[in-house]
């Protein structure tokens, strides 16, 4: 049986009614666009906010970085200061510096060094032009002293406190200037300064002074010690000199040598006859047993060239010729006779001499070649 299509058609909803039931697509569309715009504007806002956040973060990051850098730098400064402080404290604590300071204080109180202080130091004594200053310069590894030839150059005691340091420098205890000993202009300035101080210390009408000039020399490989360079002893007062010069030099040398804790570095000129030595008797008198005297024979290059009797050098370095006792006898070359030579060129010359020396290789191989720069 066929369905009653009419009834069925009537039972079906009207198309209009159905259309009413359908969602308003336009409205949905509208809403959708609105929503979309709403969403997109939010996204923009979010993007904007995020960007702003990033910028702020970056700003603070930079600020942080800057502060961290500043902090690092400040810490470095503090550390350096601290390190320096510790270092200085360490250096100050070292005995040799303490000795040096006490020596300075004592010299302020007693310019003549008559006080029997018991502080060790090496005192360089010898006849004028024997090579005292040259020996000291080889130890300090720099040509720091005023020079000239055939005249008295050292006019007052010079106390040099040697110590190890990263840079080769010289300093006076009362001035802040640091002389760079690797620079020729600083060396010249230092020599000039020493000369000025020497001249200033010599009183009107006098030739020498007992006032001590104090300086310190630091450098890589420099051994810690306190060295005192003295004016050379003389036998005759020449024109222009104060009449008591000879006695003054003797008394200054004596005052320094008298200290039982002073090591006497007795410098003798190998190029002149031993009989002409003035200092020998003085040293024998101060240290008769030779318990604190070291004998240094200089200018052995000239001696080998000029001396008529080579066996005399042999006798000297064996301690048999000079009427004085010493802990040891050494032969050195500390100069070439001219004043402008550098330490390096003198070292080369010394090495060359001992390698080719007939005399000193025969005497006692190796032991006579006392290389002052390495001791
Ligand atoms: N040929 C030579 N000359 C030297 C030697 N040692 C020092 N001289 C020179 O001797 C002179 C006097 O030296 P110096 O150290 O001033 O003697 P000082 O008066 O005892 O201090 C200087 O011209 C030096 O160059 C050496 O071993 N050989
Ligand atoms: Mg001298």
Given a cut of 50, whether residue 199 has pLDDT beyond it is yes
Summarize the confidence of residues 353-366 as an average pLDDT: 67
pLDDT(91) > 80? no
| 27 CA to centre of own chain | 92
What spacing in Å lies between the alpha carbon of 208 and ligand 1's midpoint? Answer: 20
| Residue 342 CB partners (closer than 8 Å, separation 6+) | 143
Pick the residue with more confidence: 43 or 298? Answer: 298
Q: Which numbered atom of ligand 1 lies nearest the CA of 332?
A: 27
Q: pLDDT category, 372, cuts 50, 70, 90?
A: very low
Ligand closest to 334 (CA) is 1
171 vs 307: which has the higher pLDDT:
171
Which ligand has its closest atom nearest to the C-alpha of 126? 1
Q: How far is the CA of 195 from the centre of ligand 1 (A)?
A: 18
Q: Look at residue 84 in the predicted model and tell me its pLDDT.
A: 55
CA of 166 to the centre of ligand 1 (A): 29
Say yes or no to pLDDT of 149 above 70. no
Residue 223 or residue 99, greater confidence: 223
Cα(104) to centroid(ligand 2), Å: 21
29-41 mean pLDDT? 75
pLDDT confidence of residue 1: 60
Between residues 112 and 143, which one has the greater pLDDT? 143
The pLDDT tens digits of the residues spanning 45-73 come to: 888 888 888 888 878 877 887 887 787 66
Per-residue pLDDT tens digits for 37-49: 777 777 788 888 8
Cβ contacts of 262-265, under 8 Å, gap ≥ 24? 262/120, 262/121, 262/122, 262/123, 262/292, 263/120, 263/121, 263/122, 263/123, 263/292, 263/293, 263/294, 264/123, 264/125, 264/292, 264/293, 264/294, 265/122, 265/123, 265/124, 265/125, 265/135, 265/294, 265/296
- Shortest-distance ligand to the CA of residue 267: 1
pLDDT of res. 93: 55
Residue to mutate (ligand 1; options 128, 131, 270, 352; most atoms within 8 A of CB): 131
Q: How far is the CA of 132 from the centre of ligand 1 (A)?
A: 7
Is pLDDT at 303 greater than 80 in this prediction? yes
Measuring from each residue's beta carbon to the nearest atom of ligand 1, which residues come in under 6 Å? 126, 128-134, 149, 153-154, 232, 298-299, 301-302, 333-337, 339
Break the chain into its structural domains and give their ranges. Answer: 37-74, 117-356
Neighbouring residues of the ion ligand 2, judged by CB less than 5 Å: 132-133, 154
- Which of 3.40.50.300, 3.30.2030.30, 3.20.20.70, 3.20.20.150 is the CATH number of 117-356? 3.40.50.300
Q: Are strands 158-164 and 225-229 parallel, antiparallel or unpaired?
A: antiparallel
Q: Which residue has the higher pLDDT, 309 or 174?
A: 174
The rounded Å distance from CA 98 to ligand 2 centre is 26
Nearest-atom index, ligand 1, CA of 126: 20
From 125, 129, 134, mutation site for ligand 1 pocket: most ligand atoms within 8 A of C-beta: 134
Give pLDDT, residue 366. 41
Asked if residue 333 has pLDDT above 90, the reply is yes
CB within 8 A of 182, min separation 6: which ones?
168
Whether the model clears a pTM of 0.75, i.e. scores above it, the answer is: no
In percent, how much of the chain has pLDDT > 70? 83
**Averaged pLDDT, 135-153:** 84
Lowest-confidence range among 119-133, 144-158, 194-208, 281-295?
144-158
CB 320 within 8 A of CB 297: no
114 or 142, which is more confident = 142
Span 156-180, mean pLDDT? 90
The residue-averaged pLDDT of 113-129 equals 74
pLDDT in tens, 6-17: 777 777 777 777
Ligand 2 centre distance from Cα of residue 299 (Å):
14
Look at residue 47 in the predicted model and tell me its pLDDT. Answer: 83
**Highest mean pLDDT: which of 93-102, 314-323, 325-334, 352-361?**
325-334
What band does 137 get if pLDDT is binned at 50, 70 and 90?
Answer: very high
Query: Pocket of ligand 1, candidates 303, 335, 336: which has the most ligand atoms within 8 Å of its Cβ, to mutate?
Result: 335
H/E run at residue 286: helix 279-286
What's the mean pLDDT when you consider all of the chain?
81
pLDDT of 126 higher than 80: yes
Backbone angles phi, psi at 325, to 5 degrees: -100, 150
108 or 317, which is more confident: 317
């Amino acid at each position: 049986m066929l369905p009653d299509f009419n009834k069925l058609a009537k039972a079906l909803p009207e198309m209009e009614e159905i259309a009413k039931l359908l969602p308003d697509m336009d409205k949905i569309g509208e809403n959708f666009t609105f929503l979309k715009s709403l969403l997109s504007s939010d996204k923009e806002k979010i993007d904007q906010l995020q960007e702003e956040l990033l910028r702020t973060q970056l700003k603070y990051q930079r600020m942080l970085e800057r502060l961290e850098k500043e902090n690092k730098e400040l810490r470095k400064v503090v550390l350096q200061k601290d390190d320096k402080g510790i270092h200085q404290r360490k250096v100050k604590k070292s005995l040799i510096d303490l000795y040096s300071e006490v020596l300075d204080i004592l010299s302020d109180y007693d310019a003549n060094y008559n006080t029997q202080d018991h502080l060790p130091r090496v005192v360089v004594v010898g006849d004028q032009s024997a090579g005292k200053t040259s020996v000291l310069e080889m130890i300090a590894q720099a040509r720091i002293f005023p020079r000239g030839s055939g005249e008295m150059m050292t006019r007052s005691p010079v106390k040099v406190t040697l110590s190890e340091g990263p840079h080769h420098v010289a300093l006076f205890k009362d001035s802040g200037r640091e002389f760079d000993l690797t620079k020729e202009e600083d060396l010249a300035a230092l020599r000039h300064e020493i000369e000025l101080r020497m001249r200033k210390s010599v009183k009107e009408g006098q030739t020498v002074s007992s006032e001590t000039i104090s300086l310190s020399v630091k450098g890589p490989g420099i051994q810690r010690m306190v060295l005192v360079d003295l004016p050379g002893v003389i036998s005759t007062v020449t024109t222009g000199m104060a009449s008591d010069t000879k006695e003054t030099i003797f008394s200054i040398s004596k005052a320094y040598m008298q200290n039982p804790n002073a090591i006497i570095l007795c410098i003798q000129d190998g190029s002149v006859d031993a009989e002409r030595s003035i200092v020998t008797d003085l040293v024998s008198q101060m240290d008769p047993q030779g318990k604190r005297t070291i004998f240094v024979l200089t200018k052995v290059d000239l001696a080998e060239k000029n001396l008529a009797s080579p066996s005399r050098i042999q006798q000297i370095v064996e301690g048999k010729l000079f009427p004085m006792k010493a802990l040891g006898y050494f032969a050195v070359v500390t100069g070439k006779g001219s004043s402008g030579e550098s330490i390096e060129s003198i070292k080369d010359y010394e090495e060359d001499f001992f390698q080719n020396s007939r005399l000193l290789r025969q005497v006692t191989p190796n032991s006579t070649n006392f290389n002052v720069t390495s001791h």
